[in-house]
Structures are given as structure tokens and as C-alpha cells.
Amino acid sequence: MNRYNFKLVEKKWQQKWQNSNIFSSEIDRDREKFYCLEMFPYPSGRIHMGHVRNYTIGDVLSRYKSLVGFNVLHPMGWDAFGMPAENAARENNLDPKDWTNKNISTMKEQLKKLGLSIDWDREISTCSEEYYKHQQLFFLELYEKGLVYRKENYVNWDPVDQTVLANEQVIDGKGWRSGAIVERKKLNQWFLKISQFSEELLSDLDKLEAWPNKVKVMQKNWIGKSFGCEITFQTEGDLPVKEIKCFTTRPDTLFGFSFLAVSVDHEISKYFSENHEFQKFKKECSKTGTTEEAIAIGEKIGFKTNLMAINPLDHTQKVPVFFANFVLMDYGFGAVFGCPAHDQRDFDFAKKYKLDIKTVVKPLEENDEFQVRDEAYTGPGIVINSEFLNNLKVPEESILRSIDILEEKKIGKKKINFRLKDWGVSRQRYWGCPIPMAYDENGKVIPIPKMNLPVKLPENINLNTKGNPLDFIDDWKNIEINGKKYVRETDTLDTFVCSSWYYLRFCSPHDKDYGFKKKDIDYWMPVDQYIGGVEHAILHLLYSRFFMKALGYKNENFKFSEPFKGLFTQGMVCHETYKDENNNWLSPEDVEYDGSKFRKKGDLESKVKVGPSESMSKSKKNVIDPENIIKNYGADAVRLFILSDSPPEKDVQWSEQGMIASYKFLQKLWILHNKIKDKIFNSNDNEKENNNLEKFTNQIINKITNNLENFNYNVIIANIYEVYNFLNKEIESKISGKVLRENYLKILTLFSPAIPHYTSECFEDLGYINPISWPKANTDLLIEDEIDYVVQINGKKRAILKENRNIDEESLLLKLKSNKMTERYLKNRTIKKTIFVKNRLINILVNE
């Protein structure tokens, strides 16, 4: 017998799979389809462990579904536009296209070494003309439908990357990629009208039963629907301002009105452009606006104007109008009415500026003299001190009733407000999909005629420019359409646009006329299982959902509203972090453990500080390169390990020891395989039938099938170990070769989604080709003749008794009275009650 040589075996099967094209998929109306999609990678250069985990999970699922009989679509592509390519190209004097394509081919080879069941014929790359030309067409279609518009807007400007960031790309006031502090800048930008679908995006979440609740909640919060009322306040003062509109969810507290606050960007701020004090205040606000500490401390500051706002319910009440730092321009109307007694922010503000705090809601248990003192009261209760609103129940009655009254008096309107903002898609970068628009000499927008698509990215250009390189390419920028001169739009699309429809492209990857074919998507869509990191819970997933709805808008031929039927978010791969004496990060490859402490490799005197396990990242150097690991241990061993240690939705700790254990396990499994093979071919078929083995096989079929269906992939690996432990013992007993063969083939099939190269080799070694169907448990064999009855006396386990499965309560009780384990608990005692759960347990309650 040979050692199991994974190098030869894995290479052999990967080639066979490739040559026989067994993973390529075609429409087959006689079979139910299953579309399994993992989030496609950004071609950064090399795959990382996160990819290994993500794609292994998807591969196990795809292989399983295919064995169960589904027609599986399992494609892969590249999210290939984006800034890293441009940055790398600039630094190394390369073309972003070359850099990207080189990375793609490296990573493709790496992925192939994992033995993934991917239909590579459908490979797509978002930076190819073949892909983005369709995207440009979609953009024009959305433009025609009124879902694309251009407006001047304050944008988040990343001074390092010299580009605009979406709100979602600003984290703690810093650019998500560069980490630079984001500035505010006014620019003309292209927007997609995602807000038009706010309600639908929210309500359709309920349809997504196979999505993690966590993700749905995050999207719900992001969309941020709130129900309330817009109120128009009349103003008095020395400015030409007659009224200010506010949005509120608490119109019932209007009698507690004591100030009105507007954002520093509110339109009335234009009257303060010459006011130095105000400009100083505005600067102050922008400084503290977004930093974490500022929000944590939450200091409220304001700038008092000479304007007074009139309470629309009580014209005698006039309150000051402030600019305030806690009012956001891009929510509601950028103005709020302040009711200090029942809003903590307003309360803090009122305390600071010594404004009235008038209590208008009392908790149920308090009397009418109740006064808000140390903090705002925001709970339920009864309206007081509010004339005709008095005695209404807060919040059930009071809010609706007060809206009605405001509507009657024509001072307010019922309003639903969303937090979700339109999606700014303009990026001032070269390496992206060009926006197919142009401007005439007056700046008027004209879409590029569809027949002139694609708008190709120019090649071999100078990237060493400040801002967008495309701005400097005159012969690309200046065009003629129908004899008229135009200047192209030089912004490119946010790369999230590319990933918002790629799942459709996989259905018709080679179609030249359109992004997808109707007959293809009608068969394959929606994605049955989408798998990826939870970090895309909001951005990518929300944009993709929007894109489906936008394509279907005013289009009866497009019947889908949700792209991803099932979603699974896998956890991250973590590793301990190491630092040397000088607090420099060390790579795990440079660290060794001598049994008691960690040190630098080959340096006995050195000390290494071990830090907490954190998600693998280059900056902390705690990365393990998958390619090396695959080279050393083989793909199946890596797959086995990455699945084994934690539930796939949770973070997993990378462990070298665990990795080695998985590798050794396959070696042991191979030794066992050879024993089994020997027995299959050499033992007499007349040996007594082995009931144990058949029973076990049927049990394990059930277990593994259930665990696969429920994503308990870590438990599947435990099940595989269980099988090994069982067979390794059972093989020593006499077994009929026929029975052994039948059961072993089933077992190998159960293993095959997780360790496909190994099982393929085993099948071949026994003279079989790979299985084509998943085994079914024989339920008859799952019924045990003998049951381990748990015997409890007064609820305490006292014995386990092997008994016939059909034994009744009385016979069992009789046996227990004479059984030496249990008789002493029953002797001389009265049995008050017995609880008998058939085939499981008996609980006898006795007097002590």
C-alpha cells in the first residue's frame, strides 16, 4: 500500500474535471435548478483564507445539491474595477488592465487548486468591455426611466484617493480605503434613485425567509423608515424668512416647543455668509461633527439667530431659532422643533442655553403635577398641559390624533421619512466603467447613443495626474455626435454598480446583445444560495436588490424583484497576532513555539508577545497564505480543516495544529480505505451479514444529510471522524464483502462534497466512477430493536437499560423492580406516578 499522495491525486482529478467539463451547466427543464453563488473576489493578487472558506462552503453545497439531483449553476468571476489597480499601476508604472489580468490568472490558478466545482466557461470580469458595455446600456435604460439624475451635492471627498465616497464608504469620518479624514465638497454627481424604492426595499425584506435575520435588521435600520409629520413654522425677524419646515415623529409634544434648530447648511444659512461669528461656529461644527469622541460626548452647541418661530398651535408662543450642530442637513428638512422635556438631545441643548423645559407627557403612574427634571421623558404616558391634546394616550393615540389636528388646521402633513439616500455613483477615477454621457457647450446633458456603446476606457494613459486621469485625455474626451461637438462625462461608475448585476450576467455570460437573456434568467434566477461576508450586509446587498427592482421598473418582461433567495454570511478567518520586543508585527511564519514560549524562528533568546486572535490582515501580518498551505497539505486537507473547527457563520481560528491533524486524518483514512478494499475483494460474501454496519450507515446518512441542509458543516466533519472511528473498529470483525462494499460506497459519497479529490480516488481505486446520486437512508434500518431506556427515579438518572423497543410501561416497571441497578430505589417505596416516554425513558416518582 502506498501513502496517500495528495499531490498526484489532486492534480489528476483537477485535470480530469477540467477536461471532462463536468461542472459546466446548461438549462435543463426536466431538472430543478440550483443557483449557488459566492461573492466574487476582487483580484488583488492572491487568494486569502477568507476566499478559501467562502468558496469551500459554496463548493460543498454545490456538490451536495448536484448529487441530490439539482441542475447546479456554480459560476465564478472577478470584481475587477477599482482603485487598488489604479494605485498599483501608478506605483509600478503598469497598466491597470495588465495588473488586473495578471492577478486574475494567478488567482484563478490558485482557486483551481482548491478543487472547486466551478463552471469556468461562465467566467466574467467586470473590467472587460464585454461586461461593462451592458452596464452602460443599463445605465441609459435607467436614465430613460427617470432613475438616474445629476445634481450638485455636497459629497464626501477623500483627499488621499482624490475621489468621492458614498456615505457608506465613510467610516468614523474616514475613507474606508485610504483612512484619510473625509472632507466636504460640492460637486456635480450622478445619482441612482434608490430612494424611490425605499418602501419596497423595506417591505420585501419580509419575503427573504432564507436570509439571516441580522442582515435584514441591518438593512431595515439603514433604510430607516419613520412615521411622522411635517410641520411648517411661521417665523418673525429681520430676515426675509417667512417659514421653516420641520419633520417630527412626535407632533404630540408640540406644546412643549421651546426652540427651533436648523442645520448649519440649512438654506437660511445663506443670510449668514457675511457673519463672522456664524462662520466660526460653522467651522466648529464641521470639526467635531463626525469624530467618535464628539459623538460620544455628544456636546450640543448652537448659534442663536434673531429669528423667532411661532408655535402653530399657540400663536402667542414665540421661541428662538438656532443653528445647531446636532441637526443633519440630509435628514428630513434639516430642521427640528425642540421639545426638551421629551427628547434627550433637545433637553441637553435647552439646559445649555437655559431654554424652557415644559412637560407635556406624564408617565401613566404619575399625576398631572409631573415635571421632567434630570432627563427627558420619552416613554409612554398621557398628554398633559396641551389644551385639546390633553389626556391622549402616548404614543398610540397621541401621535395619530395630533397629526389629524395639524392637517385639519393646515399646518402639518402626515409624512413618512426614510433615512436611505439616493446612491451617488460618480467616481473621479480612471479604472472604472465610463458613464455613457456627454455635455454640449452649454453643459446640457446628452446620453451617448446606444449604437455608440461601449464607451471604451482609453488605454496607455498617464495615471500621474491630480484627480481623474480621464480629465486629461482630450482626444478621448472630445467627441462628435451627429456632427455636433460634445465633451464626455469623465466620471466612472462606483464599482458597486458592477457587482449589482453580475449574478444576472452569469446566466448568459456570452450574450453579445444584452446583459442577459430572458430565457436564461427565467430558468436560473433567483440565486438560490448566496454566500459571502457579512461586511456586505448593507452596501452590496442593498444595491443588488435595488438593481433588480430598477430593471423591473416599467418593464413587464422582467419578473424578478429579489436577486438572492437565500443568503449565508460566513465568519472570518482569524489568527493570533505576534509582536517582537520592539512592537513590530511578526508573521506566524517567523515565529515558533518551543513547548513553553514563543520566539522568533532560529533566535533562542528572542521574546515574542502573543496578541489576541484577530481577523487575518496584512497590516497585522497574521496572514497564512493558502497557496503554501495547499502545497504542503493538499486541498482536501485544507477544506477539511477550514470547515471543521467552527460553525461556518462564526469566526474560525486558524490553527497549524488543526491543519496538521486534518492532513494526518486523510492519511489514516487512506490506510483504512486499503483495509476496506482488501476486505471487499477478499472476504467471503457468505460471512454473516453485518447489521451493525448497515444500521450505522443509515444513521450517518441521516445525520450528514441533515447537517448539510442546515449548514452545520463543522458537524459534518465530526461525522466523518465518527465514521472513521466506527469503521476502523468494525473492519476487525467479520463482514460480508458485498455488504461492506454497498455501505462503503454510500459512505464515500457522503464524504465527497467535503473532500472530493480523496473520494474520487477511492472510488476509482475500487473500480467505480464518481457517484451520481446521494444515498437515501433506509428508514427500516433506523428503527432499533433494542432501545437504551433512560431510567430516572424522581427525575434523576439512575440507570440505562437495554430493552426491547416495544416494551410497555408495566413490563418495564416490573423489570426495574428486580433490576439490581434500580431495585434499591424502589424497594419499600410507594410509586406515586410514572412518566413513560416510549423508546426513550421512564421516570418513576416515589415517596422518599
**Using CB under 7 A, which residues numbered 561 to 600 contact RNA?**
595
| 432 binds RNA, rule: CB under 7 A | no
Sole window of 98-106, 243-251, 464-472, 525-533 interacting with RNA (rule: CB under 7 A): 243-251
Closest CB to RNA among residues 188, 725: 725
| 292 binds RNA, rule: CB under 7 A | yes
**Adjacent-strand bridge partners of 158:** 163
Site string for RNA, 691-730 (x = CB under 7 A): ---------------x-----x-xx-xx--xx-xx--x--
**Adjacent-strand bridge partners of 437:** 447
| Cα distance between residue 136 and residue 140, in whole Å | 6
Site string for RNA, 537-566 (x = CB under 7 A): -x----------------------------
Residue from 92, 213, 367, 557 in contact with RNA (CB under 7 A): 213
Sole window of 35-43, 157-165, 242-250, 773-781 interacting with RNA (rule: CB under 7 A): 242-250
Backbone angles phi, psi at 156, to 5 degrees: -85, 115
Residue from 109, 144, 396, 788 in contact with RNA (CB under 7 A): 788
CB neighbour class for 779 (10 Å; exposed up to 12, middle 13-18, buried from 19)? exposed
The CB-side HSE value for 460 (13 A sphere, CA atoms) comes to 0
| 827 binds RNA, rule: CB under 7 A | no
Closest CB to RNA among residues 308, 799: 799
Residue from 94, 137, 180, 294 in contact with RNA (CB under 7 A): 294
| 304 binds RNA, rule: CB under 7 A | no
The secondary element (H helix, E strand) that includes residue 593 is strand 591-593
| 655 binds RNA, rule: CB under 7 A | yes
| 249 binds RNA, rule: CB under 7 A | yes
| 325 binds RNA, rule: CB under 7 A | yes
Provide, rounded to whole angstroms, the least separation between the CB of residue 607 and RNA: 19
| 288 binds RNA, rule: CB under 7 A | yes
Site string for RNA, 11-50 (x = CB under 7 A): ----------------------------------------
Q: Which of residues 725-744 bind RNA (CB under 7 A)?
A: 725, 728
Closest CB to RNA among residues 115, 302: 302
* Closest C-alpha to 228, from 347, 400, 409: 400
* Closest C-alpha to 55, from 142, 118, 132, 127: 118
| Cα distance between residue 234 and residue 133, in whole Å | 52
Closest CB to RNA among residues 16, 177: 177
Provide, rounded to whole angstroms, the least separation between the CB of residue 39 and RNA: 17
| 280 binds RNA, rule: CB under 7 A | no
Site string for RNA, 754-783 (x = CB under 7 A): ------------------------------
Closest CB to RNA among residues 351, 456: 351
Closest CB to RNA among residues 224, 771: 224
Provide, rounded to whole angstroms, the least separation between the CB of residue 177 and RNA: 15
The number of angstroms, rounded, from the C-alpha of 716 to the middle of its chain's C-alpha atoms is 24
Residue from 117, 644, 736, 760 in contact with RNA (CB under 7 A): 644
| Cα distance between residue 792 and residue 770, in whole Å | 48
Residue from 123, 794, 815, 819 in contact with RNA (CB under 7 A): 794
| 658 binds RNA, rule: CB under 7 A | yes
Beta-carbon contacts of 91 under 8 Å, excluding residues fewer than 6 positions away, are none
Provide, rounded to whole angstroms, the least separation between the CB of residue 299 and RNA: 7
Local structure of residue 449 (DSSP, 8 states)? P
C-alpha to C-alpha distances, 100 to 96, 127, 345, 528, 780, nearest whole angstrom:
6, 9, 49, 30, 57
| 303 binds RNA, rule: CB under 7 A | no
In 28-78, which ranges are continuous DSSP H helix? 49-68
Closest CB to RNA among residues 631, 729: 729
Site string for RNA, 485-504 (x = CB under 7 A): --------------------
Cell numbers that stand for 15 in this block = 485535470
| 650 binds RNA, rule: CB under 7 A | yes
C-alpha to C-alpha distances, 283 to 271, 286, 359, 673, nearest whole angstrom:
16, 5, 34, 74
| 845 binds RNA, rule: CB under 7 A | yes
Beta-carbon contacts of 248 under 8 Å, excluding residues fewer than 6 positions away, are 228, 229, 230, 231, 336, 337
CB neighbour class for 407 (10 Å; exposed up to 12, middle 13-18, buried from 19)? middle
| 611 binds RNA, rule: CB under 7 A | no
Site size toward RNA (CB under 7 A) is 83
| Cα distance between residue 814 and residue 265, in whole Å | 86
Q: Which of residues 171-210 bind RNA (CB under 7 A)?
A: 171
Q: Per the omega criterion (within 30 degrees of 0), is the bond before 526 cis? A: yes
| 651 binds RNA, rule: CB under 7 A | yes
Cell numbers that stand for 753 in this block = 462534497
Cell numbers that stand for 163 in this block = 475621489
Maximum Cα–Cα distance across the chain: 111
Q: Which of residues 373-402 bind RNA (CB under 7 A)?
A: none
Q: Which amino acid makes up residue 53?
A: R
The secondary element (H helix, E strand) that includes residue 844 is strand 841-846
* Closest C-alpha to 481, from 456, 459, 457, 451: 451
| 295 binds RNA, rule: CB under 7 A | yes
| Cα distance between residue 435 and residue 140, in whole Å | 9
Sole window of 302-310, 388-396, 655-663, 679-687 interacting with RNA (rule: CB under 7 A): 655-663
Place of cell 434639516: 334
Residue from 8, 22, 328, 416 in contact with RNA (CB under 7 A): 328
The secondary element (H helix, E strand) that includes residue 722 is helix 713-730
Beta strands in 642-794 (DSSP E): 652-653, 786-793
Q: Which of residues 799-818 bind RNA (CB under 7 A)?
A: 800
Q: Which of residues 52-71 bind RNA (CB under 7 A)?
A: none
Report the chain's terminal Cα–Cα distance, integer Å. Answer: 64
Provide, rounded to whole angstroms, the least separation between the CB of residue 254 and RNA: 11
Provide, rounded to whole angstroms, the least separation between the CB of residue 845 and RNA: 6
Residue from 202, 652, 680, 812 in contact with RNA (CB under 7 A): 652
Query: How many C-beta atoms lie closer than 10 Å to residue 153's C-beta?
Result: 17
| 798 binds RNA, rule: CB under 7 A | yes
Closest CB to RNA among residues 247, 506: 247
| Cα distance between residue 385 and residue 372, in whole Å | 13
| 661 binds RNA, rule: CB under 7 A | yes
Sole window of 62-70, 223-231, 519-527, 746-754 interacting with RNA (rule: CB under 7 A): 223-231
Provide, rounded to whole angstroms, the least separation between the CB of residue 692 and RNA: 15
Place of cell 424668512: 241
* Closest C-alpha to 481, from 436, 544, 546, 531: 436
